[in-house]
């Protein structure tokens, strides 16, 4: 019933996203509460899905839901089901990631896996081997979360050592919220904390690495640095269509449920814009890079081109 008043009202008040939110938190609550009646080999995939899905919901609260008050969006995305990163800091760093002219640039893009050429040359061979393994899909979905978290914590520690304590309140808030969540998990639901961490949280962080594995690469032209992965169900729902990543970078506030229409309407223009950085699905990425590096994570110096990142592709769906 596209274009009807009922659909417009449904989308106007973010109905699809509220359904996702209810599903995420409902699934999580039931999984933890009934964990004792579920075999571990079912808890792992169920936990992975709910944590990865929750991360997609957090991402949506950062960019879209523009008609929802900011305090409500914050409350919706803030519960730290994945334990690792304070939501306010994720909010801030991910916004910085969206400076498209600096995508993949070490020190500028907080979500980049690239290293500067000089830094790479100073690494011992063993460290280079670890980072190269992380550039395979197998590596990213096993040790990727550990490398991301260690890099994030290193930046936060160096920030404090340098005298910048602006993020300390966010960490305080995070400590309190994580403590309350784990209190419910352990004392009320009776789930051992090691089980929650190893059977639910870490598998979810690993599954989330699938989406981000090859959504960006270095290219001379910034518009060629963001991919399109044309994947259907269930990954489009799990990642809330963020697999069509170029569209998200061009129209960050576009709701997840309108992204597929934008892709269908501007497919040719989008592929021309990003230089054909495109995959038919995650199976294609896995076939190519399960055991082979996607790219050497070294970005050359002095090749960032500024000036093209302000371009936006206008589509009927984005209007």
Domain ranges in the chain are 5-215
pLDDT-flagged residues of the chain (< 50): 1-6, 302-319
User: Rounded to a whole number, what is the distance in angstroms from the first to the last CA of the chain?
Assistant: 19
- Report the alpha-carbon distance of residue 173 to residue 21 in Å, rounded: 22
The pLDDT of residue 301 is 55
- Report the alpha-carbon distance of residue 204 to residue 209 in Å, rounded: 9
- Report the alpha-carbon distance of residue 214 to residue 290 in Å, rounded: 12
CB-based contact 87:80 (threshold 8 Å): yes
Place of tokens 């991910």: 94
Residue 298: count of CB within 10 angstroms of its CB = 17
The pLDDT of residue 102 is 87
The pLDDT of residue 7 is 53
CB-based contact 247:270 (threshold 8 Å): yes
Helix (H, G, I), strand (E, B) or coil at 187: helix
CB-based contact 279:229 (threshold 8 Å): yes
- Residue 104, φ and ψ in degrees, nearest 5: 75, -5
The pLDDT of residue 319 is 28
For residue 223, count CB atoms less than 10 angstroms from its CB and return exposed for 0-12, middle for 13-18, buried for 19 or more. Answer: buried
């Amino acid at each position: 019933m596209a274009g009807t008043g009922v659909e417009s009202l449904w989308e106007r008040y973010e109905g699809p996203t509220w359904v996702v939110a209810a599903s995420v938190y409902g699934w999580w609550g039931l999984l933890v509460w009934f964990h004792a009646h579920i075999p571990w080999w079912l808890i792992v995939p169920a936990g992975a899905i709910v944590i990865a899905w929750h991360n997609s919901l957090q991402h949506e609260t950062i960019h879209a839901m523009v008609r929802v008050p900011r305090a409500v969006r914050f409350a919706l995305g803030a519960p730290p089901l994945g334990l690792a990163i304070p939501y306010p800091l994720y909010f801030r760093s991910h916004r910085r990631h969206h400076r498209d002219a600096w995508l993949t640039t070490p020190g500028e893009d907080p979500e980049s896996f690239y290293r500067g050429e000089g830094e790479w040359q100073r690494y011992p061979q063993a460290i280079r081997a670890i980072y190269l393994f992380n550039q395979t899909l197998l590596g990213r979905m096993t040790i990727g979360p550990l490398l991301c978290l260690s890099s994030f914590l290193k930046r936060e520690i160096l920030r404090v050592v340098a005298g910048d304590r602006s993020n300390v309140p966010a960490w305080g808030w995070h400590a309190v919220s994580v403590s309350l969540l784990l209190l419910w998990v352990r004392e009320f639901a009776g789930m051992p904390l090691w089980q929650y961490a190893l059977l639910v949280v870490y598998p979810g962080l690993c599954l989330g690495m699938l989406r981000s594995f090859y959504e960006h690469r270095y290219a001379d032209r910034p518009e060629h640095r963001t991919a399109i992965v044309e994947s259907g169900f269930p990954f489009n729902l799990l990642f809330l269509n963020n697999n069509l990543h170029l569209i998200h970078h061009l129209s960050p506030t576009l709701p997840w449920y309108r992204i597929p229409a934008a892709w269908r309407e501007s497919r040719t223009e989008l592929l021309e814009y990003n230089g054909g950085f495109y995959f038919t699905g995650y199976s294609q990425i896995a076939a190519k890079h399960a055991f082979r590096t996607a790219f050497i994570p070294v970005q050359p110096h002095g090749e960032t081109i500024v000036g093209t990142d302000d371009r936006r592709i206008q589509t009927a769906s984005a209007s």
